[in-house]
């Protein structure tokens, strides 16, 4: 029989600050992902602002929405492409109208779950 081990996370003594909105949380997650892909070791105790979650918590929240079919592949594609560029799509540009709609829908749906978890104000 395999025994699961529980290793508690180190809790920082500094107060944590939730994100203002889902967009800010998503861009933070994408910056963390970029750093991770580049091989940077992220440590929460070295951050300027302590956040109430890990980047993986945001990913897991988004994947919950995907499994529940609240977010679709078009939402994920737009979140990924504009997230890596750290710039929201501009609905005033004709070529970004559709992307802006998917972006807004995704962030609106993410806000509910992120607020429930205390990640967003």
Q: What is the pLDDT of residues 42-64, one digit of tens each?
A: 665 556 788 889 999 999 999 99
As for how many domains the chain has, the answer is: 1
- SS3 for 19? strand
pLDDT at 5 (0 to 100): 61
Q: Does residue 16 sit within a domain?
A: no
Specify burial of residue 104 (Cβ count, 10 A radius: 0-12, 13-18, 19+).
Answer: middle
Q: Please give the model's pTM, rounded to 2 decimal places.
A: 0.83
- Backbone φ, ψ for residue 79 (5° rounding): -60, -40
Residue numbers of the domain that contains 93: 56-121
* Measured distance CA(45)–CA(91) in Å, rounded: 38
Q: Does residue 84 sit within a domain?
A: yes
pLDDT at 40 (0 to 100): 80
Containing H/E element for 23?
helix 22-37
Q: Does residue 103 sit within a domain?
A: yes
Residues of the chain with confidence (pLDDT) below 50: none
CA contacts within 13 A on the Cβ side of 120: 23
pLDDT at 76 (0 to 100): 97
pLDDT at 64 (0 to 100): 96
pLDDT at 16 (0 to 100): 83
Q: Does residue 87 sit within a domain?
A: yes
Q: Does residue 65 sit within a domain?
A: yes
Q: Are 102 and 74 in contact (CB under 8 A)?
A: yes
pLDDT at 71 (0 to 100): 97
* Measured distance CA(91)–CA(103) in Å, rounded: 10
Tokens of 98: 């559709």
């Amino acid at each position: 029989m395999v025994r699961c081990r529980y290793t508690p996370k180190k809790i920082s003594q500094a107060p944590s600050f939730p994100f203002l909105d889902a967009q800010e949380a998503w861009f933070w997650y994408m910056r963390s992902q970029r750093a991770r892909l580049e091989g940077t070791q992220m440590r929460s105790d070295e951050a300027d602002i302590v956040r109430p979650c890990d980047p993986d918590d945001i990913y897991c929240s988004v994947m919950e929405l995907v499994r529940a079919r609240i977010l679709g592949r078009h939402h994920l594609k737009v979140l990924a492409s504009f997230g890596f560029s750290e710039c929201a799509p501009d609905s005033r540009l004709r070529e970004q109208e559709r992307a802006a709609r998917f972006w807004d829908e995704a962030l609106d749906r993410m806000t509910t779950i992120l607020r429930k978890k205390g990640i967003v104000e």
